[in-house]
Chains A and B, each alone.
Chain A
Amino acid sequence: MSSSISTRDIVTIAILSSLGGALSTFVGYLGNLINLSLGVPFGAGQFMAGLHVFWIVLIRVIVPKRGVGTAGGLLKGTVEMFAGSTHGPVIVLVSLIQGFFVDMGASAAGSSENPKDSSRITWWIGAGVASAANVIVLQIFYFTGAPILYIIVISILAFCSGIIFAGYFAWETLEFLNDAGTISGFQSTKPVIPKSTPRVVVHRNLPAVVFVLFLTVGSLYYTTNVAHVFADPYTCEVRGLVDNPFSFSLEDFASSEITIEAELIGAYTHLEPANYTGILISTILQQANIQTGAVGLQIIARDGYSIIFDIDTVMTDSNFLLTRSDDGLWLIAGDYDGSMWVRKVTLLQVY
């Protein structure tokens, strides 16, 4: 299929990428105007996210070939990098991923079909997802550990922006360009819809179904595996040199609950002696069954903080437990300095 890309196609992709890159400053300027009118220092930028995907959608519709969205995204990002975008290669990556999602949406919508009718919704959802993708990429680069609520809100904002600007507005634009005679074939390929038997309906919607399925599975995978940081703050995992790695919540050990008194003595902070109720780390590790040869335990928090203890000391320490607090599981290291107390514990790694 790719071999049939004509010079005209290449030129179209290049010119639209270039125009998109040239206008990205205008889009930024609009975002600033909105910020000003709302009286916030930043944030409305994401409301404009869809306008970046707009160009990729345009490219993919005007040059209806598989992979063109990804290529267009890559090119537009590279143009922006050469035009002096602050984020440089990060923009290239964002744009590339957006292009990929537009391609996915397009394939799901059935590229040979006229993008105007039934498949339009699939296109628009694809555009929305592509817009939201920038939030995830930027989060990985610059906002690691951001609260999930924040990410969800911003992603939804970007998704809506994608639907509005890269979906609705892109279609308006395409119809307009077609009407102006600038592009051809956007409307004219409207297929004669055959008398739809149920089978045909299923067949025609199959790509859309697959696409929605892909989205669901993808987002599930993301939330469960990739974004383990978003998982329930009250569950924790045991991994490493153990026979029986598992994930648990404190309720699983309800019968072994104990209470100790401990005092946090830090360099600058001090928590008065208080009672902490929870499960001893040694109890938890016993259940996992530590392999011979293990020397240490690394306790890792959601924010990436980690700290190392000697495994033998841990197994005999009766002032060393996980307790439940407002924001997650806390490690109470009664016999240690305050900096060894870890909040939001998510992983016990035996090594």
Chain B
Amino acid sequence: MLESQNLAFSYDGKTQILRSIDLQIRPGEVVVLTGPTGSGKSTLAKCLSGFIPRSIEGEFSGEIIINGENTSDYPIAEISRLVSLVQQDPDSQICTLKVSDEVAFGPENYEFELKTMEKLIKSSLFAVGASHLHNRNTHTLSGGEKQRLAIASMLSCQPKYLILDEPSASLDPKGILLLRKILSQLKDKNVGVLCIEHNLDAIRPVADSILSVSNGTITNWTQIEEQTLTPSPAFVPSNKSLLSLEGIDFSYGSTKVIQDVSMSIHEGEIIALMGGNGSGKTTLVSLLGGLLEPDIGCVHLGKDAMSDIDRKNIAKRISVVFQNPNHQIFERTVWKEQILTSEIIDNMHEDSIERSRNLLNSANLGNFVDRNPFSLSHGQKRRLNITSTIAHLPDILLLDEPFIGQDQDGKSFILNAITETASANGAALVVTHNPNFARNHCNRVIFVENGSILLDGSPETVLQRLVEIGHSEYSELGVNS
């Protein structure tokens, strides 16, 4: 059994992240741990896996007991052989160039014999359903495949306990189904699993118990009626096309990602763009934003061909927000970042400054104007990404998974920005895995598969069709909600 007794931790000695944590994980059990952003879930994971206090400094007290033995004298490599931690971002945990090398990494360090290693690589990859990947280069894997590789490369060290931090974050609904399968197989192998998860729907079916962290202590989780955002009033979109793709093909090198796509975005539309990881959603957004040139076909913004329009003019009319907030912050202070686009497109006047101020306030960023934008939390950065691209009132919003990592206030702020734009004769397209958002707030859903549009229509029809064609996970799993 993996236990913590009276665990407390603080990074700076002032703010107590964990107060008194008592937790038990038995072999063959999946314990799910949930809690609000910033409640210390990841910190707890690092305590249980021994990195706090060994690699990360702070004020630590309490005990971690594994199979009845106090581990406080164990060096990190010893604890790691018992408890493995798979962190959030799989891309940051892969250190080699080939899949088989990655899985071999642990056994190599622990000086296993070649024969044992081979066996472990095989069984670990099999356990995560990734045997077919063994010869691939790691950088060519999809997000979901990387996540599974990260788990496999921990399993090859044969830990007794496995801690997974937000494993569903980079997964599409298909990936989540696979994750459930992996977890239940781990149970069969008598591995104790602690799974930190935001998205309870994703793994509730395989959980033995659900706990919740708040205020630095653990309580049993009870279902709270989630305050759903009021559904947006249904707009009747007009027929006026704002932005359109005609017969678009696009490839990265020799890999074709978009194939013969035609679509128009009309005034008043709020579109949910759905589809699996790697289906071409993000590429489609970049093509719509005029950021990539199609190989074949043309893009029209209003009546003009995108390629004929000046870059600044496009920036005035279309706002694009990508997934990783760090990739779209450029300035040294929040305020400078906020007004950057306005400055570039010569839109600096009192009204726009006033609007920028209001936007920051309503996004709960009003107190941070002089802060370094990169020092904000993930959720705050994402809100800044949005406020900084809509101050000049663009017609079209293209948002790639904007709701990830947002609390209730953040979500309603983003939703507001979307509906405001749409109701002002603009339109918004939102990449999402969340069918509830599509149902309640969108008037159109586009589902892409393998770089082509598979379904396009009203939310009810598209979600219904998804069930009929065997993609029910996309219309049922409220991923990232």
Contacts and interface: CB of A to CB of B under 8 A. Distances in A.
Interface of A: 8, 176, 179-182
Interface of B: 55, 332, 372-375
Nearest to A178: B372
A181 B332 contact: no
A57 to B, nearest CB: 20
Contacts of B372: 176, 179-181
B110 to A, nearest CB: 15
Nearest to A8: B55
Which 6 pairs from chain A and chain B are nearest by CB? A180-B374, A179-B372, A180-B372, A181-B375, A180-B375, A176-B332
Contacts, number: 13
A181 B378 CA distance: 13
A252 B370 CA distance: 72
The prevalent SS among residues of A at the interface is helix
A169 to B, nearest CB: 13
A180 B333 CA distance: 10
A180 B55 CA distance: 21
A8 B372 CA distance: 24
A181 B12 CA distance: 14
A322 B372 CA distance: 70
A176 B332 CA distance: 7
A176 B333 CA distance: 10
Nearest to A180: B374
Nearest to A14: B95
A57 B374 CA distance: 22
A182 B381 CA distance: 14
A252 to B, nearest CB: 64
A179 B332 CA distance: 9
Contacts of A182: 374
13 contacts: A8-B55, A176-B332, A176-B372, A179-B372, A179-B375, A180-B372, A180-B373, A180-B374, A180-B375, A181-B372, A181-B374, A181-B375, A182-B374
A147 B170 CA distance: 59
Contacts of A8: 55
B70 to A, nearest CB: 25
A181 B375 CA distance: 6
A331 B106 CA distance: 71
Contacts of A179: 372, 375
A220 to B, nearest CB: 43
Chain B CB within 10 Å, residue with most, of A8, A180, A181: A180
A179 B331 CA distance: 13
A48 to B, nearest CB: 20
Contacts of A180: 372-375
Contacts of B55: 8
B137 to A, nearest CB: 13
Nearest to B333: A179
A180 to B, nearest CB: 4
Contacts of B375: 179-181
A180 B372 CA distance: 6
A182 B374 CA distance: 8
A8 B57 CA distance: 14
Contacts of B332: 176
A125 to B, nearest CB: 27
A181 B373 CA distance: 10
A287 to B, nearest CB: 66
Given A179-B372, A181-B374, 11 more contacts: A8-B55, A176-B332, A176-B372, A179-B375, A180-B372, A180-B373, A180-B374, A180-B375, A181-B372, A181-B375, A182-B374
Contacts of A181: 372, 374-375
A14 to B, nearest CB: 9
Contacts of B374: 180-182
A8 B92 CA distance: 13
Nearest to A177: B374
A138 B373 CA distance: 41
| Listed residue (B55, B373, B374) with the most chain A CB atoms within 10 angstroms of its CB | B374
A182 B373 CA distance: 12
A287 B173 CA distance: 93
A62 to B, nearest CB: 16
A8 B54 CA distance: 13
B298 to A, nearest CB: 27
B69 to A, nearest CB: 25
A8 B332 CA distance: 26
A192 B373 CA distance: 30
A40 B372 CA distance: 39
A180 B375 CA distance: 4
Nearest to A6: B55
A86 B409 CA distance: 52
Contacts of B373: 180
A91 to B, nearest CB: 21
B380 to A, nearest CB: 13
Nearest to B371: A179
B48 to A, nearest CB: 20
Nearest to B76: A7
